[in-house]
Structure 1
Amino acid sequence: MAAGDDRGFATLGHRLQAARERAFVGRGEELAAFGTALRSGGVLWVHGPGGVGKSTLLQRFAQEAAAAGRPVTPLDGRTLDPTPAAFEAATAPLLTGGGDGVLLVDAFERVQGLEGWLRERFLPRLPDGALVVVAGRTPPDVMWTVDPGWAQTLRPLPLRDLDARDAEAFLDARGVAEGLRGPLLAFAGGHPLALSLGAAVAGKDSEASARWTPAQDVIATLLDQLVGEVPSPAHRHALEVCAHTYVTTEDLLRHVLPDDAAALFTWLRRLPFVESSRRGLFPHDVVREVLEADLRWRDPRGYADMHRGIGAYLAERIRTAADPDVLEAVGSLFHLHRSVGGTAEQISWRGDGEVYEDLFRPADVPALVRMAAEVENAASAAAVAFWTARQPEAFRLYRRTRTGELVGFCSWLRLSRPSAEEAAADPVTATAWENARALGPLRPGEHLAVGRTWVRAEESALSPVSDLVQWRAIGYCLRADRMAWSFMAMRHDTPMRDYLAAFDFHDVGGHARVGGAEYALFAHDWRAVPADAWLERLDRLLLGDPVDAPGPPAAGLTVLTREEFADAVRRGLRHLSRPAELAANPLAGTRLVAGASGGDPAKALRRILEEAVERVGRDPRAVKFHRALKATYLAGAPTQEAAAERLGLPFTTYRRHLASGVERVGEDLWHREIHGT
């Protein structure tokens, strides 16, 4: 019979079995373990999340045992009464036969209450040489491993997704067209049930293409099979939070679900499709994807509320965490926005713990200089030598955890005013200053930052090193105090250009040349679009809300020089009773007003100016200035002459007091604009 020909079988069952055998791929390690156990006996415990292929593997085990001439007793926990009597009745042949029997128990999670009885009462009575395979969603409990006898006899077999090669073979066996395999694998990874459902649905869809995404019937089926029923809406919400975040901690759950966070966290960590890491809990990839897709489709507003609540928690962590903990918080923030701007293609989220960030030490200088020369050129190495002496705190190093080998480093230079020596030593910082002067000069108390990265070629694409470098960059920007501009220096032909633009970092024009290599400076003005507005923009991109088209320089808040600000304060005081004039005042677009406007910048500006006038009067030395301000702008004097007359002051004295008062108001508000307090 030709391969793939289903004719000539004795029964329909034989035909079905042949089709299953042709479709079976991978699982070499598990089959080898079963082959060894067939010769020696014992207990294998196969465990893994729903749909990972436990039942299919047990069917293959049954075939292998039958081919070896061993009698097989299959049990299914879904149809078995969960009592010792029912279990013994179903396994009578095994108990009364010789030592060559093979017992295969599927869906053991449905009769999990029998585990202790199985270990203590049933299994010890089996003939020596018998083989038992238990398959369920949960691993064997700890009592198996603390018993010296069972520790030698029971072998746990965690069943994982198919690897990339086996997943391809799986789709090939099901006849999935080449053009559909990419989106199917992107959705399902190596999860057999998700691959099977996707292949079945996509194969029937004549319109399916590289843009294929799972339909809601596929999502619903996977939810039923992988997750099933949950105890309450609070448990469902906790599961959705776990699916949305990179890792879930009890502290995060407490922020989003203040009631019973500890109990919900304990419940999550016991789920068969949720794993633990040193950072927290995370679900199986397919479970994550189907929960996300289902909630976004079923309750878009609930999804948005959940997302913003988690985002606010992570943003606060980034701002307040100790420096070593910043990278984890930023990585989690990026994971929330993994579908924005090609983020999923630019961050690997793999190799957790493979590489670590290290602080700079003076002894590291020769290694950094050598690496800069190797990955760039001698001019770049000279700039590194210059800045490690001048700003050593700006450098972070990345090392392999296993060997301590240096694989990359970055710097974030903080610059408050241009220096001829710095400009001569480093064309990148000189160009950053030129761009800042052209686009929006720094104001007193502000600084700009310049980021550079040097990474070995094999780590420069998707890798744990590139992940940490990106997270450090955003962590620096979101934590910096009074930073006007950030510039990321990258090769002018970088493939990340569109990705950076999606995150509102733009090539602002002026390029730098270092040793013959050309570098673009991707900039963001943090005065025009502060951290909170930048994060809100990412949320809008993710949630599909309207977002103003980004472009250099970024549109947002108004950035005024000290002189422009003072002039706007004077005009604002003169126009306190004119809402239209106040709405058009440049102050209405500044950070000072934007955060307090509540949708009415004119009203907010009037209140801010009036409060500033009142603060002048709190200084005993400025009482006369306050009186002049109040009489002129708050008491409704028709002219300055009338105000002077009301105060009983010579006009020249009144004018002097008024000018000093206006200056006081301007200084107060300027301080609040720059420093935020």
Structure 2
Amino acid sequence: MESIPISDPYVPRRYIVGFSREMASFKQWLTDPNPTTSLFDVSGIGGIGKTTLLLEMTKAASQAEVLTLWLDGQSELATSGAFLSGLGASLEIEYGRRREPGLPLLSFVIEELTRQRSVLLIDNCSRLAGIEGWLMSSFLPKLTDAGVLFVMASRGGLPLQWYTSPYWGHRIRAFPLSLLTREEVLDYLHRCGLDEMLRTEVAQKTKGLPLHLAMTVDVLHSKQSNPGASAGLDEIPGTLSADILREAASPDLFQALSVLSLLPAADQSTLNRLLDPPLDAAGYYALGNLSFVRRTAYGLTLHHVIAGLLRNDFAQRDAAQFQVRRQQVFQLLAEQFRHADTRQQRGIAAHIMELYREFLPSAHAYADFSTALSPGVHTPFRPEDLGSLQQLLAAAISPTNWQSELVHAKAYSALLDDIARHSPEGICVVRDDSGTPLAFCAGFWLHGSTLPMLDRYAPGILALLSDERVALRTLSRESADTLCVLLAAVDVRHPLYGPEELGALLMRQWLVEMTSGLRGIMFTADPQLNGLFQILGFQEMGHIKLNGTETEGELTRWELDFRHQTFDTWVKEVIRQTGPTGLTALMTRNESRAEMDGTAAKQILELLFRSEEMEQLPVVRKMGLRGTAVQTCVQNILTATEAGYPLTQLDQSILRAVYLQKDRNKNQLADDFHMSRTTFYRHTLQALDHMGHVLTRALSEVRG
């Protein structure tokens, strides 16, 4: 039997941060004039702070003069006898309560717990299964009307049968512990006396895991007291936390965790495409029961910080295998992206950018992608945001370059008002956990109604749109697919995040929005931004010289056009520019084995009735097929009664009209399909992409 551990002799003075929600609920129960018997289910990974929280609850209960007992589940949950013996010994040692001779131990414990308000804290409840039947049938029913609070801490939380119990389910409150926020980490480091410059670096590297944070501080204090020791901060990042996670899962599951860290979410079949040996149903179920794994509609997923730690560990343990697995995941996600809805596409795009974040700038004047900040769930601009955005813009004008180079500074406020009024969907907002805006960019979607306002605030832009102006003037708002960004600002005074971190977060979220088949246009004369846009795969589209604005000089027009290239093609281009030779070669090898894309399918369809010319196409020559065989295969696909997945009947109809019948122009075709020309163009690209998948399978069968 262990007495309540008031202090740990191996740990120096500790400062407690977080737990506000949990402690508020605990203190509310302590002060409730009519307390009911309840259960608090505390769960979380090793090192997240479960024991620390129970110790804080112990102190609060003692101060409230409430009977408080502590059990260690490692040794005192093996049998009902061990459980009762632990409670009996604790009552005697802590409170001097002795059992009368002949009184059964169960009766003694129940009598003492019902005598007054009581708190029973049980740490390490993972071994509860051995006695949970006895607890629910013989022990807890005797305390139904008593004022007893059970606080049960474990990695995976209480099993499902506790929550579905008609007697106890409604008495349980779940408290899954999360990682510390940046604010809580910095608060802790400040209390520990760390230098301000060191705090930021430690906060970034410890990722909010409490045990990792506390041990890092111990290491730094130790090294500061030993002048001959090296700083050692570079040795800390992934190893300690990955070891904790490895210990939290069985060895059989750790490989699955490593692969899961590369995916936004995965069901059993998706995981097994990347695992050798595959995970059976029992293993997948066990994986889902780990406290740091969450079940979603798309399969199992990891907290983004935990996933980052596991990825770092994977890359350090086996760099070559990590590159192979990451590239396999990339190909799999690129395939899923093509068939996903817009919301899923945003999630996949954000995940792939995080997966390859190392190839984005880590030291840039406007965007530092090295910090693993998550943009969270996208929330569109709301009218009530406008006041906060105006404040961000006003604060950013003077000390930084977070302003437009196209527009007079005096017109910024009016421009933002007009964008919010006439083109609110052109505002991209990054928020903190409470929903408060941290950064934004804003511009007009280009169509007939917005061109006059664009001309009013930045008249020189229209000169660079001369080739499109006529079409844009008659384009409806619903058909617009091009956003011209005019304003951007971040919270330059934020106490927790630097402007460059927020800049990277804003750029990531904006890029994710563009991936759904849109085009973004930006203008700048800033050499730093010109360099950033080039790295991020923007295309230089011309120059403009403006006089009388905040920047008198030549501005470059940059475009990122996802209407004419796929998201995965863009990612590959960014990696080719910034990645190592080995990774580029790996991607090239994988591309050679990849399915036929929409561009190749279009080339075949355009030459469908010229079989000899078709045979000269690289994709056809590579397969070693005759043009007539490919022609027959394509015609069969497009005229089949049931379209082969992922080709739809609409896809078939569009491709037949465009490439087989060829008796109408694009405007007529768009009208026939009840679409705008822009929408019809998007559907055609999607149909070609789907055709590439089906044609790959069909031609492979022809080759035998």
The normalised TM-score by structure 1 is 0.59
**8 Å contact kept, 1:318–1:329:** yes
The answer on 1:35 being equivalent to 2:9 is: no
The answer on 1:315 being equivalent to 2:334 is: yes
1:216-231 superposed matches below 5 A: 218-219=240-241, 221-225=243-247, 227-230=248-251
C-alpha distance in structure 2 between counterparts of 1:291 and 1:68, whole Å: 42
Alignment partner, residue 647 of structure 1? none
C-alpha distance in structure 2 between counterparts of 1:25 and 1:112, whole Å: 32
Query: 1:250-284 deviations in whole A, cap 9, x for unaligned?
Result: 56435435955876654433220123456654323
C-alpha distance in structure 2 between counterparts of 1:181 and 1:25, whole Å: 15
The answer on 1:178 being equivalent to 2:196 is: yes
Return closer, same or farther for 1:523/1:146 CA change in 2, 3 Å cut-off.
closer
Q: 1:297 offset after TM fit, Å?
A: 1.2
Alignment partner, residue 571 of structure 2? 535
Alignment partner, residue 380 of structure 2? 355
The answer on 1:271 being equivalent to 2:290 is: yes
- Identity of matched residues, %: 22
Query: 1:220-267 deviations in whole A, cap 9, x for unaligned?
Result: 532344x3324x3xx433312221233445564354359558766544
Q: 1:182 offset after TM fit, Å?
A: 1.7
Query: Which residue, out of 537, 547, 550, partners 1:504?
Result: 537
**8 Å contact kept, 1:255–1:313:** no
The range that moved more, 344-353 or 520-529, is 520-529
Look up the SS of the partner of 2:264 in the other structure: coil
Q: 1:211 offset after TM fit, Å?
A: 7.4
Q: 1:167 offset after TM fit, Å?
A: 1.8
Look up the SS of the partner of 1:256 in the other structure: coil
The range that moved more, 460-469 or 68-77, is 460-469
Q: 1:311 offset after TM fit, Å?
A: 0.7
Return closer, same or farther for 1:70/1:535 CA change in 2, 3 Å cut-off.
closer
Q: 1:109 offset after TM fit, Å?
A: 1.3
Return closer, same or farther for 1:62/1:398 CA change in 2, 3 Å cut-off.
closer
Q: How many residues align?
A: 506
Q: 1:136 offset after TM fit, Å?
A: 1.1
C-alpha distance in structure 2 between counterparts of 1:515 and 1:382, whole Å: 22
Unaligned 5+ runs, structure 2: 92-105, 363-367, 383-406, 448-453, 469-480, 493-498, 585-615, 632-687, 696-704
C-alpha distance in structure 1 between counterparts of 2:328 and 2:508, whole Å: 24
Alignment partner, residue 452 of structure 1? 484
Query: Which residue, out of 43, 49, 55, partners 1:47?
Result: 43
Alignment partner, residue 185 of structure 2? 167
The range that moved more, 41-50 or 184-193, is 41-50
1:145-544 superposed matches below 5 A: 145-147=163-165, 149-205=167-223, 212=234, 214=236, 218-219=240-241, 221-225=243-247, 227-230=248-251, 232=252, 235-249=253-267, 252-253=270-271, 255-257=273-275, 259-260=278-279, 266-276=285-295, 281-323=300-342, 325-339=344-358, 340-342=360-362, 344=369, 349-355=374-380, 427-428=460-461, 430-431=463-464, 451-453=483-485, 462=502, 467-476=508-517, 488-493=521-526, 496-505=529-538, 507=540, 510-511=543-544, 513=546, 516=549, 520-523=556-559, 534-539=570-575, 544=580
Q: 1:30 offset after TM fit, Å?
A: 2.4
- Which structure has more RCO (C-alpha within 8 Å, separation ≥ 6)? 2
C-alpha distance in structure 2 between counterparts of 1:615 and 1:31, whole Å: 69
C-alpha distance in structure 2 between counterparts of 1:306 and 1:356, whole Å: 37
C-alpha distance in structure 2 between counterparts of 1:380 and 1:133, whole Å: 52
The answer on 1:120 being equivalent to 2:170 is: no
Largest Rg, 1 or 2:
1
Q: 1:382 offset after TM fit, Å?
A: 11
Look up the SS of the partner of 2:348 in the other structure: helix
Alignment partner, residue 95 of structure 2? none
Return closer, same or farther for 1:179/1:399 CA change in 2, 3 Å cut-off.
closer
C-alpha distance in structure 2 between counterparts of 1:75 and 1:200, whole Å: 28
Look up the SS of the partner of 1:472 in the other structure: helix
Return closer, same or farther for 1:132/1:310 CA change in 2, 3 Å cut-off.
same
C-alpha distance in structure 2 between counterparts of 1:468 and 1:15, whole Å: 45
Q: 1:193 offset after TM fit, Å?
A: 0.8
Alignment partner, residue 624 of structure 1? none
C-alpha distance in structure 1 between counterparts of 2:53 and 2:59, whole Å: 10
The normalised TM-score by structure 2 is 0.57
Look up the SS of the partner of 1:293 in the other structure: helix
C-alpha distance in structure 1 between counterparts of 2:269 and 2:445, whole Å: 31
Look up the SS of the partner of 1:490 in the other structure: strand
The range that moved more, 46-55 or 341-350, is 341-350
**8 Å contact kept, 1:106–1:136:** yes
Q: 1:452 offset after TM fit, Å?
A: 1.8
Look up the SS of the partner of 1:109 in the other structure: helix
C-alpha distance in structure 1 between counterparts of 2:157 and 2:179, whole Å: 16
